[in-house]
Amino acid sequence: MNYDETLLELEDVRYGDMLHSQAAGDGSLTVGYADAAARNGVVAELTFRYVPAKVRQTTSLTLEVRQDGATLPETNETLELTIPALPIAFEDVKPGAWYYDAVEEMAQTGRMIGVSETRFAPQMNLTRGQLATILYRMEGSPM
């Protein structure tokens, strides 16, 4: 299994009865089992930890089953994960405000970051430059 170790930390591994060997490091975990016929059982249960950032992030876990060093057909599985962002912390955007959810979405996706670490300034007029930046970010910041 492979994972992005900059976003996920492998916190705990509980191995099933079939475990034969294991190795971990650099964003990967390899477990081996002695009885190939029993591979439909639980080999290991994994617990990951993440630290939320200011913006929502996505990552994936990739699992493949190998036998004698070769990947078995139709055994690759990729699980896409969305790591939630921290709640917004703008002093001037209170829960219950009609624009709260929109501000939270824009801040957590990185499209808008506010005018400072603690102020969003929702009542301020939007400049042409700010609008251009927002539209650029909404399109994925194309080159």
3-state secondary structure labels for all residues of the chain: CECCCCCEEEEEEEECCCEEEEEEECCEEEEEECCHHHCCCCCEEEEEEECCCCCCEEEEEEECCEECCEECCCCCEEEEEEECCCCCCCCCCCCCCCCHHHHHHHHHCCCCCCCCCCCCCCCCCCCHHHHHHHHHHHCCCCC
Mean per-residue pLDDT, 97-109: 89
Q: Which of 6-10, 17-21, 102-106, 132-136 has the lowest mean pLDDT?
A: 17-21
Does 58 have pLDDT greater than 80? yes
Q: Is the pTM of this model over 0.75?
A: no
pLDDT for the residue numbered 143? 74
